[in-house]
Amino acid sequence: MRFFIVSCISGKDKQRLAAITTAYCLLPIALTLQILPLHLIIILNFAPMSTGSFIARRLIKERNHEASYSRPINVIAIIGIALGLAVMILAVSILTGFKQQIRDKVAGFAAHIQVVNFDANMSYETVPISSNQPFVAKIKDHPGIRNIQVFATKAGIIKTEDNIQGVVLKGIGSDYDWSFFESNIVEGEVVTVTDSARTNDVLISKKVADMLGLKLGDAFSMFFVQDPPRMRKFTIRGIYETSLEEFDKTYLFCDIDHIRRLNGWQPDQVSGFEIFINNFDDLEEMTYVVRDAIGYKIAEDEEQLKVTNIRGRYPQIFDWLGFQDTNVIIILVLMILVAGFNMISGLLILILEKTNMIGVLKAMGSGNKLIRNVFLYQAAWLTAKGLFWGNIIGIGLALLQLKTEMISLDPASYYLKSVPVNLDPVHIILLNAGTMAAIILMLLIPSQLIARITPVKAIRYD
């Protein structure tokens, strides 16, 4: 044994020699108290950079195979962390899913960005502009722009034998992107609009169809209050339902040529342009891009155009969505605090359980930092186990809701039929990393208790 120690310290400085000599002299005490095995004591002074993690791993293995009064506390701490992370994953995924679906639905009706006449107001009787605008060619292929389409609107009244309902007829052209409504069709199909012939087919919402007692394939009359009053007959080609009731009971979709003829417009006149973007987070940036492409026109004979986005047109909806962030932040803070305090109690129990070991390590010359790292490594291991099971529970429940939609909602209040889920890997990684970092930082304070433990009292501790 003496030869082994001398061979290990060959070429080392005097401080290293003194440390190992002290360790060798204290071996009988360690063996008598059965605190640490021989190889742990040698490594403690021979490889100080890896000692903390090494001892922590051995203590973790020992705890897994032997009974100790700290195990129930550790299990409770793990369960607390797991449940806390699961709640955080569900809260973030549900909030982001809710916001994403509401934004997509509003954009499906009104697009992300609109370009209309500067004299246009909130009325559906709009001032027309030309569809031949130079800015269209400038932004059509711009990165981030998904589609540009023309539209026109006109208010009218649907009258059946027993009911009457005011709606807004929205005219669309052959360039219209039907992807949103194709995913929300409940009967029939979307309207096929061509540039060669006008169609009388319309797409109506299930809400309006039920209110008026209309079915797929039915024909109905729509009246327009103007001078002179006019009437048009339409046939229901498709029925959609988005659960965004304020919009569902308002809009019908038809060929834009009907709006032109009703308003007496030229074949190239429209209410405006709708622009869809790829990423909602770039909404403000893309709005500035469109404004820059249009420029500023001051000549009297030039059309004055106005650019707006859905955040500005529907501030009440997006302000309401913004308030939901506060609720989630409160949930995240509370869950992290609960998990942190669970781990603090677990760490204190670990320290009390291994008080004798702390005394022996200090008697051998180990510093408070090394011993503190031993317990922080154990706490990090327990936290990692809790995070693992938290991910299993949280992601599992989120996927179950995503596939089965087992939890439903009232569309009149939430605009959705079921609880939405958006599992973003980036959010999950950030939640795991943030929870781990926050708990470890919280554990630094109780770990200072180790500095108060003296070797003599600790070795005698029972």
- The tens digit of pLDDT for each residue in 267-279 reads 899 999 999 999 9
How many CB atoms are located within 10 Å of the residue 162 CB?
A: 7
pLDDT score of 216 more than 80: yes
pLDDT band at 440; cut points 50, 70, 90 = confident
Least confident of 13-22, 250-259, 291-300, 409-418: 13-22
Q: What b/e string do you get for 189-202 counting C-beta neighbours within 10 Å, with b at 16 or more? A: ebbebeeeeebebb
Same domain, 73 and 147: no
In which domain, by residue range, is 292 found?
Answer: 119-303
Same domain, 328 and 239: no
**Is 434 inside any structural domain?**
yes
Same domain, 374 and 267: no
Residue 430: CA count within 13 A, CB half-sphere: 8
- The beta strands (E) that lie in 30-144 are given as 113-117, 129-130
Same domain, 332 and 436: yes
CB 220 within 8 A of CB 213: no
Separation in Å, CA 406 to CA 90, 94, 390, 398, 399 = 14, 14, 21, 11, 11
**Is 102 inside any structural domain?**
no
The rounded mean pLDDT for the chain is 80
Same domain, 126 and 183: yes
**Is 288 inside any structural domain?**
yes
Q: How many domains does the chain have?
A: 3
Among 271, 303, 335, give the residue marking a domain's end. Answer: 303
pLDDT band at 416; cut points 50, 70, 90 = confident
**Is 106 inside any structural domain?**
no
Same domain, 59 and 75: yes
pLDDT digits (tens, 9 = 90+) for 96-134: 999 999 999 999 998 999 999 887 667 788 889 999 888
CB 134 within 8 A of CB 294: no
pTM for the structure as a whole: 0.75
Among residues 215, 261, 253, 461, the alpha carbon closest in space to that of 362 is found at 461
pLDDT score of 2 more than 50: no
Among residues 326, 257, 263, the alpha carbon closest in space to that of 128 is found at 263
How far apart (Å, rounded) are the C-alpha atoms in residues 342 and 364? 32
pLDDT band at 235; cut points 50, 70, 90 = very high
**Is 308 inside any structural domain?**
no
Same domain, 42 and 52: no
Element housing 59 (H / E): helix 48-65
Among 248, 268, 303, give the residue marking a domain's end. Answer: 303
Separation in Å, CA 190 to CA 74, 101, 248, 277, 398 = 59, 21, 15, 22, 32
Same domain, 58 and 33: no
Q: Is 296 exposed, middle or buried (0-12, 13-18, 19+ CB in 10 A)?
A: exposed
pLDDT given for residue 63 in this prediction: 60
**Is 157 inside any structural domain?**
yes
pLDDT > 70 in the chain, percent? 77
Same domain, 5 and 141: no
Same domain, 74 and 147: no
pLDDT given for residue 155 in this prediction: 92
Same domain, 67 and 206: no
Same domain, 52 and 146: no
CB 237 within 8 A of CB 190: yes
**Is 58 inside any structural domain?**
yes
Task: Give the mean pLDDT of 307-327.
Answer: 88
Among 303, 333, 356, give the residue marking a domain's end. Answer: 303
**Is 52 inside any structural domain?**
yes
